[in-house]
Amino acid sequence: MTDQLHLDRPDVAMSFPALLAKVRYEGAYPTEEKAREVTLQVLGALGRQLIGEERVALAARLPLEAALEFTGQAPAAERLTGWGFVKDLARRTGTSPAVARWNAGTVFSVLARLAGPDLLDDILHQLPDGYPLLFGRAELRLRQTA
């Protein structure tokens, strides 16, 4: 399968198979199907947490199939911390928190490269504490809550 040019989405950096190949390599998943399952689970979970311009901008950088899963999720009423995100992902996928943390970190590391540093900064600024670590960044200080 070759990369398809999406004229209405010129900033898409890679095809869905290329995204899955990166996730499979980074996460050491045994099959492309496992990488696909994990990628869609994590994108769906992130789609429930991210809102606004950052959501739109990230979706625009994802391959179409990934963007549809990400934007197909209604934003959650409750904003989860990074640890809460991992626990929720574990519950929804029937895995342990350790496996959910691995899966989230794997997919988020690929998303961080797709997003680029400026968009990633905007995304992390919007999300509650704990997400920088999931994206492979140090969390240097906790945010002040009002």
Q: 93: buried, middle or exposed (CB in 10 Å: 19+, 13-18, 0-12)? A: middle
pLDDT at 3 over 80: no
Q: State the maximum Cα–Cα separation within the chain, in Å, rounded to a whole number.
A: 50
Mean pLDDT, residues 125-136: 94
Kindly report the average pLDDT of the chain as a whole number.
89
Kindly report, residue by residue over 42-86, the tens digit of the pLDDT. 999 999 999 999 999 999 999 999 999 999 989 999 999 999 999
Confidence (pLDDT) at 140: 61
* The two structure tokens encoding residue 143: 């945010």
pTM: 0.86
How far lies 16's CA from each of 12, 90, 131, in Å? 10, 24, 24
pLDDT at 40 over 90: yes
- Give the whole-angstrom CA distance, residue 144 versus residue 133: 18
Confidence (pLDDT) at 6: 41
- Give the whole-angstrom CA distance, residue 11 versus residue 79: 28
Confidence (pLDDT) at 139: 74
